[in-house]
Chains A and B, each alone.
Chain A
Amino acid sequence: MSKARLMQGNEACAEGAIAAGVRFFAGYPITPSTEIAETMAKLLPQYGGKFIQMEDEIGSMGAILGASLAGLKSMDATSGPGFSLKQELIGYAACAEIPCVLVNVQRVGPSTGQPTAPSQADVMQVRWGTHGDHPMIALAPWSVRETYDATVMAVNYSERFRTPVILLMDEIIGHLREKVELPDSVEVYERRKPKKTRAEGYEPYEPDEDLVPNVADFGKGYHIHVTGLLHDATGFPVGSPKVTEESIRRLHEKIARAGDEIIHTEEYFMEDAEYAVVAFGGTARTAYEAVRNAREAGKKVGLLRLMTIWPFADKVIEQLAAKVKGILVAELNYGQVVHEVRRAAQGKCLVELCGKYNMKSFEPKEIEAAIDEMCARRDA
């Protein structure tokens, strides 16, 4: 391990991207994600990579898709207003199976909202912001150190599944500076190359055993056609019900197959817990302190932290709901993850929202009070 140093979440994201092999970044800087672009602009040239500040958010997203198709691991970073603009190209990346990582450091919305204030209200947009049936992988780190790891993971998943991956940060973690020790090296997934030659009948979108196609990078001697129209193994659009159905199913199944392996959650103080708090990102840290205080006061409360937001941790929540009397979902929004928790809990326990949307992050005492209220209601 290298020496401990003070580092910001956004910087750790850029460092993680470099470690994972990202060598192209295009962006249109926006608060509270700007330091990611700044750090990438500084680091990338030192690693033989390219940084481009584009003319706008859509151009940035288009640039990383182009760079990715040409063979470079690519990343872009933004916040709510930019994330909205990039939705169409996120869908394009999902359909055309172009690996890329998009970081969304959430701030208060809707629209321009409150540029410098924390929020966690883009959870559903991450999942459903682009139209049509598509899978989604989104990771939400809760510390500066984990931001580094989650970025590496996001890059690896995007390359392995050939899909856009969203690093769903929030202002709390993006702008937080804390002590970190970065590892000397990380495990990196290298994009797979074609296994056949043209003469052997190579088709760019022919799925491999894991349902992920080995699309050749541009300029490597293969003929490839990339389109947002639904296509068959050749990559050319086909207007048939069969190809359409198979394509949409395969896009989902290539990620569903990995299953639990990409769903990361952590439990704290859960042994003998009768109630649980579910939280993610910066809010989970406050929830941790609230739960620890509640434990010190003799209350049987635990914390389940979601690191993978999408795909949703259905099984974990279902098991939790079977075990506890009530779940409190603490999130910096008007209520988003709480709906998923309710769905996954299948009525097995009480599920309540502890939401906040006034520019301020939670204080531990607010979550403690919400825990008490829930317990009182349930036990009444």
Chain B
Amino acid sequence: MRKQLRLSGSGGQGVITAAIIFAEAAVAEGKEAAQSQSYGPEARGGASKAEVIIDDAPIYHPHVEQPDIVLAMTQKAADKYYTDLKPDGLLVLDTDLVPEPPDFPNVIRIPITKLAVEQVGKSLFANIVALGAIAHLTGLVNFETVKESVAHRVPPHTVEQNMKALQTGWDAAAKK
């Protein structure tokens, strides 16, 4: 069963890292995964988009055609990337950074960046909060596997904070 995810925001928010970790978790569970991204030439700022396809069968065309879920961490990304969502797809928005939710039937708003600051201490962890939320909302990978993937990918001295961020995102999505 193919699932297509798109994580979007601006350069520096860490959506590509979140997508890589999600894909790594899927691979750890024996699934096929294809992760790609598009971004501008800037190191910070500018539009940033990361995609993950998860499937049981081999994946040929490696880019998302119609996402099942779109995460948007900026207003600009929300406006740009929700348009080709499947009609029954899900749009996940950072409540504060996307003040004007696009007109889409299935929207979940989570104060992702605010939670990162309040619960973990830095907006830097917003991507992992988002990852926790996405992991819960998709149900594609086990929480324990995502935890392992996060621990494997982030710098060792930040593991504890990232675990907290992941849990915060997971719990926030669970309440929705």
Contacts and interface: CB of A to CB of B under 8 A. Distances in A.
Contacts of B128: none
Nearest to A142: B60
B27 interface: yes
Interface in A171-214: 172, 175-179
Contacts, number: 59
A73 interface: no
A33 B58 CA distance: 25
Interface in B1-52: 20, 23-24, 27, 30-41
A165 to B, nearest CB: 25
A372 interface: no
Interface residues of A, number: 23
B63 A179 contact: no
Contact of B60 (A6, A286, A361, A365): A286
Contacts of B59: 178
A292 B30 CA distance: 24
A221 B12 CA distance: 54
B133 to A, nearest CB: 21
B24 A6 contact: yes
Among B34, B36, B39, B62, find the residue whose CB has the most chain A CB atoms closer than 10 A. B62
Interface in B62-116: 62-63, 65
Contacts of A6: 20, 23-24, 27, 33, 35
Contact of A179 (B27, B36, B40): B27
Given A6-B24, A361-B63, A363-B61, A178 B32 contact: yes
Contacts of B38: 116-117
Contact of B36 (A4, A31, A175, A288): A175
A116 B34 CA distance: 18
A289 B33 contact: no
Nearest to B24: A6
Given A282-B62, A288-B60, A4 B27 contact: yes
Interface of A: 4-6, 31, 115-117, 172, 175-179, 282, 285-286, 288-289, 292, 361, 363-365
Contact of A364 (B30, B33, B36, B65): B65
Nearest to A144: B34
A361 B63 CA distance: 9
Contacts of B30: 4
A88 B112 CA distance: 52
Contacts of A286: 60-61
**Closest 8 pairs (CB-CB, A-B):** A177-B35, A289-B61, A288-B60, A285-B60, A286-B61, A289-B60, A6-B24, A6-B27
Contact of A363 (B20, B37, B39, B65): B65
Contacts of A178: 32-35, 59, 62
Contacts of A4: 27, 30
Contact of B61 (A31, A175, A364): A364
Contacts of A364: 61, 65
Contacts of B65: 363-365
B102 to A, nearest CB: 22
A176 B62 contact: yes
Nearest to A363: B65
A176 B35 contact: yes
A116 B41 contact: yes
Given A117-B38, A175-B36, A282-B62, 15 more contacts: A6-B35, A116-B38, A172-B62, A176-B36, A177-B20, A177-B33, A178-B32, A178-B34, A178-B59, A178-B62, A179-B31, A285-B60, A286-B61, A363-B63, A364-B65
